[in-house]
Structure 1
């Protein structure tokens, strides 16, 4: 009789632990995409469009299905660039949607005399 109670609890814990691992990987992909986009956006001849394209390309190549509904926003001023990647983690548990938001900020490369 106890096995009827234990097996569903064990399966729930198993699925929840896999879900946490998938969230962690998706979060890592989003952070790395933001850092890649920042590298392109903050370069001497870089632009916000170049940063956005590189970040989106990274998400497409590395994220696969783990990071869905992605959006990349890039802000570049004369002195600073910021890349933010948002999206959702793939869900094993129906109805559970974890949002991901990762940003990277750095100074813009420029020539100062």
Structure 2
């Protein structure tokens, strides 16, 4: 029985840590996507700007947990006459030492404009 535990416990811990790491990555990915979507909606609004989209995405990231969800975050945006795009990049938290997973999510929306 002791020999079996010596082999099974590391395998059990590996499965637990991989499952937890997967959940942390998935959560960070969803938060990054939601922040990009919020920023893109703001940048694409009729009175929105590229800078307001970046600010909105950064505010969303802080409200969603800040460094307890993702570290080393950066937000970039672009706005053309037709499309506003926001990209959020960061590092997912890790329970496996030395393993840092980068998360990048983008969202694009059409720019609102008044037509007659």
Instruction: Report the TM range for the smaller structure's normalisation.
Output: over 0.9
1:26 touches 1:63 (CA, 8 Å); kept in 2? no
| 8 Å Cα contact 1:75/1:82 also seen in 2 | yes
Q: Distance in 2 between matches of 1:22 and 1:42?
A: 30
Give 1:80 deviation, angstroms.
0.6
Q: Tell me whether 1:42 sits opposite 2:27 in the alignment.
A: no
Whole-Å separation in 2 of the counterparts to 1:86 and 1:3: 41
Return 5+ residue gaps in structure 2 as ranges.
none
**Could you tell me how far 1:95 is from its partner in structure 2?**
1.3
- Contact 1:86 / 1:99 at 8 angstroms: preserved in 2? yes
Query: In the comparison of the two structures, how many residue pairs are matched?
Result: 113
Q: Where in structure 1 are there 5+ consecutive unaligned residues?
A: none
Specify the alignment match of 2:21 in structure 1: 19
Residue from 95, 100, 103 that aligns with 1:100: 103
Give the corresponding residue for 2:84: 81
